[in-house]
Amino acid sequence: MNRLLIGVLGCLLSFNVLSANWVINKDHSEIMFKVSYLNVSELTGRFTEYSGSVELDETKKSFGKISITVLTASADTGHKMRDNHLEAHEFFNSREFPKLTFVSSEIKNVGKDKYSARGDLTIKGITKPSIITFTLTDSVKDTWGYENKFAKFETVVNRKDFNLNWNKTLDGSKYLVGDDVTVWGVFQIQPSKGVTPSSKHMIPDTDYIRGRDDELRKETSKEEESTISKKLRKLINGK
């Protein structure tokens, strides 16, 4: 019985260790959007304030949950009057609804390093099912030894589904601004306990600094291993 208990507890702890929480590092990430204009061109912009996390099991390349939050007032199209209009009640109504969110409910592998995340998209207090497709790179370490992955993503949102209805009519039955908004970009994701500090990018790469950073990471790794061992002993002994 004890062996079975130890085995189960070990598996649970292993799952927790392998399924790490990764977060978005904005330093090398971006969220872009575009919508048709006059039926012949496109208006593009970006969101500048956002955050997100991913539950990821690297060994199985499987996901637990993806959560993304974007501040609607951070929409930037390069035109101040237009950006203010996007914040107004005819669009995002950022004063009452400062955030838009996406929370996944199911993530499927649909090809080599390609995934489809199905979940709930909430904009302006309205929640609709949505699908985001993305690709995910293998892990790569940066100059300072921090682990990175990059997810390139894309989705299409019908703005009228979320009461973003403002428009102007053109000749015939056409409208000034299209209904479908394409959202795309890239997220740099890193383990939540190993995010590259922004200040690192201003520091020159020297043997001394690299060695110092390696020692700090080794000490952190030992502390985490010790914490896991203590949890396992506590669960087994009931103390």
Please provide the distance, in angstroms rounded to a whole number, between the alpha carbons at the two ends of the chain.
18
Query: For residue 110, what pLDDT is reported?
Result: 94
Domain locations in the chain as residue ranges: 18-200, 204-239
SS3 10: helix
Condensed to tens digits (0 to 9), the pLDDT of residues 137-156 reads 999 999 888 999 999 999 99
CB 133 within 8 A of CB 160: no
Q: Topology of domain 18-200, per CATH?
A: Lipocalin (2.40.128)
Query: Considering Cα of 94, then 98, then 100, then 105, what sign does the dihedral take?
Result: negative
Residues 6+ apart with CB under 8 A from 34: 42, 43, 44, 45, 181, 182
Query: For residue 8, what pLDDT is reported?
Result: 47
- pLDDT of residue 5 exceeding 50, the answer is no
Residue where the block lists tokens 């995934």: 115
Condensed to tens digits (0 to 9), the pLDDT of residues 32-55 reads 999 998 888 899 999 999 999 999
β-partners of residue 132 are: 117
Over range 56-81, report the average pLDDT: 92
Over range 186-194, report the average pLDDT: 95
- pLDDT of residue 13 exceeding 80, the answer is no
- pLDDT of residue 14 exceeding 50, the answer is no
pLDDT mean across residues, the chain: 86
Condensed to tens digits (0 to 9), the pLDDT of residues 72-98 reads 999 999 999 999 999 999 999 999 999
